[in-house]
Amino acid sequence: MKMHGNALFAAAFTATLGLNTAASAESLTYTKDIAPIINENCVACHRPGQAGPMSLTSYKEIRPWAKSIRKQVSEKKMPPWHASESKVALSNDRSLTEEELTKIITWIDTGVVRGSRSDLPPSPKFSDDGWILGEPDLVAVLPEVNIPGGGPDIFKDLGGKVNLKEDRWLTKVEIKPGNTAVAHHVIAFQIRGFNVDPVGGWLGAWGSGTSPMVFPEGTGRVMKKGHSIIGNMHYHPTEKDEKDQTRIGLHFAKDDSKIQKELTNLWVMNSGFKIPAGDPYHEVRASHTFAQSGKIMAFQPHMHYRGKDIKYVANYPDGSSETLLAINDYDFGWQTDYNLAEPIMIPEGTIIDVIAHFDNSPENESNPDPTRDVTFGNESYDEMMIGFMDFIVDDGIRPMSRQEFREIAAVETSKAHPEDTYSVYFRDPEFPTVLYLPRSGEGAFILLSSNNVQKNWPISDLVWSGDEFTALVDFEKISRTVFTGTLNSDTARIEGTMVFPANENDEDDEDYVLALKGTLTVNFDPSKEEGVKPKRKHLTD
């Protein structure tokens, strides 16, 4: 076959390219090309005394595991990183680049060449005994734990004393297990007194191979006066008996004036689900409506052994929506904090849907028991569905409190209708509800959702007879409820009751009578009020 001009050049170029590629593959060595990748991405866990099942600190240690390493990295199971989709780059992404992945696979496929000792990079240094972030301002020491060898995974909530004399801004948290061979992950919360229920969100977290938590510049979390810390511990036993005592190092702001925003940890949670036995793909949802605009800084999705996938979807006020983060292959073994390289802007009124699926079938090898229905619970054989988010508000230092939102609703309604707006309460006068009850027309109960989003429940069929009234309150999914009461025209005090009928399909259920009282918002002073006790009774009583 005769070749001319461009064809001849193309053939020569292709041949040269092939030779260069082959030469490049043949020249890949452990000491020059692979050791830097392993040191950077693997050795933190895969070294003596750490969580990795084998040490990978040298060519001699790596060589027997070459085929296994190829399989794990090609399937992207190692290094462990589970984000499948993200709106923005993730600053702590520990997955390999395509170039690094190609180098490892090619090196293994072309003979696992060792290379010259002179090309070997310095061994990485780890601070196993000291603090990576330097000496903390305060160290909370958790109780020592015995971990029997060869047993199942152990989960414990361990308390550590802090007991500050005043609120302090936290800027960094370093969690230091005493035995990283068995410690799998730790999540730290603050608690009030002897109550083990967390107050607020995460303070910090630790997992195999992760870095200490350093909050974004200008932000911090508040460690409250008198509070303590609880460490939610996950231990993975070795074949021998072990001990662990974990310490939590707290770093406080040196200058409080430099903290501009509180890094609030939001919980988007569903605790009312039931996953049927054997169901391979059960969906559970939760949502959060943002009452204030701000920025999402990080995500921390959390499920247990049946968790299959989870994603965060933003539904914006303009009607558009997008996925912010998706984990298509969730693994309970890795509790990852997904830190955003740049914040995600969240307009007021945005609804975040967290959508998760669970595999409760026998095909799920991690499933503790596929024969039982599963509900929300703290134990690992139960399930959880929580989409944690780190968030800062645009206006102010921290999100407004529920009480602040109530006060705004009361002031705005009272300003428009000063003679018809009442502050009433069902139990505690410190937490009043706004009631708009005009002499004619429709009124409204102005309540707040769990996300502090204002909701106006309409009051219709309002009939006054002197200072007595009857009406209907439309609570949508709950019921249309009869609302009756009296108003003292001289003192402007109001008292009333709402009756929620018993479930007619449940003979043991009773009508629920909810009593309330209060006064005009312009006159309301909670210190002069007394609480109200709810009661149940039959309407025929």
Architecture of domain 138-259 in this structure: Sandwich (2.60)
CATH says 402-536 is which class?
mainly beta
What is residue 388's predicted lDDT score, i.e. its pLDDT? 94
Q: Which residue has the higher pLDDT, 407 or 324?
A: 324
Q: What is the average per-residue pLDDT within 91-101?
A: 92
At residue 117 the predicted structure's pLDDT band, cuts being 50, 70 and 90, is very high
Q: What percent of the chain has pLDDT over 70?
A: 90
What is residue 12's predicted lDDT score, i.e. its pLDDT? 42
What is residue 128's predicted lDDT score, i.e. its pLDDT? 66
Q: What is the average per-residue pLDDT within 51-56?
A: 86
What is residue 458's predicted lDDT score, i.e. its pLDDT? 93
**Residue 198, φ and ψ in degrees, nearest 5:** -65, 150
From-to residues of CATH 2.60.120.230 in the chain:
138-259, 264-393
Tell me the pLDDT tens digit for each residue of 272-319. 999 999 999 999 999 999 999 999 999 999 999 999 999 999 999 999
Query: What does the alpha-carbon distance between residue 213 and residue 216 come to, in Å, rounded to a whole number?
Result: 9
Q: What percent of the chain has pLDDT over 90?
A: 63
What is residue 167's predicted lDDT score, i.e. its pLDDT? 94
pLDDT of 1 above 70: no
What is residue 244's predicted lDDT score, i.e. its pLDDT? 96
Mean pLDDT of the chain: 88
At residue 339 the predicted structure's pLDDT band, cuts being 50, 70 and 90, is very high
At residue 11 the predicted structure's pLDDT band, cuts being 50, 70 and 90, is very low
Query: What does the alpha-carbon distance between residue 71 and residue 65 come to, in Å, rounded to a whole number?
Result: 10
DSSP 173-234: EEEE-S-TTTEEEEEEEEE-TT--S-EEEEEEEEETTPPPEEPPTTEEEEEPTT-EEEEEEE
Tell me the pLDDT tens digit for each residue of 498-529. 988 777 777 777 778 889 999 999 999 988 88
- Give Cα separations from 11 to 14, 22, 109, 356, 534 (angstroms): 5, 17, 27, 53, 89
pLDDT of 192 above 60: yes
The crossing angle, in degrees rounded to 10, of helices 66-74 and 98-109 is 150
Tell me the pLDDT tens digit for each residue of 373-406. 999 997 888 999 999 999 999 999 999 887 888 8
At residue 3 the predicted structure's pLDDT band, cuts being 50, 70 and 90, is very low
Query: What does the alpha-carbon distance between residue 145 and residue 163 come to, in Å, rounded to a whole number?
Result: 23
Tell me the pLDDT tens digit for each residue of 405-438. 888 888 999 999 999 999 999 888 888 899 999 9
At residue 201 the predicted structure's pLDDT band, cuts being 50, 70 and 90, is confident
What is residue 422's predicted lDDT score, i.e. its pLDDT? 95
Query: What does the alpha-carbon distance between residue 44 and residue 209 come to, in Å, rounded to a whole number?
Result: 5
Q: What is the average per-residue pLDDT within 3-29?
A: 48
What is residue 45's predicted lDDT score, i.e. its pLDDT? 85
307-315/321-327 β-pairing: antiparallel
Query: What does the alpha-carbon distance between residue 435 and residue 421 come to, in Å, rounded to a whole number?
Result: 6
What is residue 332's predicted lDDT score, i.e. its pLDDT? 87
From-to residues of CATH 2.40.128 in the chain:
402-536
Q: Which residue has the higher pLDDT, 129 or 72?
A: 72
At residue 163 the predicted structure's pLDDT band, cuts being 50, 70 and 90, is confident
What is residue 196's predicted lDDT score, i.e. its pLDDT? 58
pLDDT of 223 above 60: yes
- Give Cα separations from 253 to 110, 133, 259, 484 (angstroms): 53, 14, 8, 54
**Two tokens, residue 22:** 């082959």
Q: What is the CATH number of domain 264-393?
A: 2.60.120.230
The closest of 504, 408, 516 to 454, measured between CA atoms, is 408
CB-based contact 483:471 (threshold 8 Å): yes
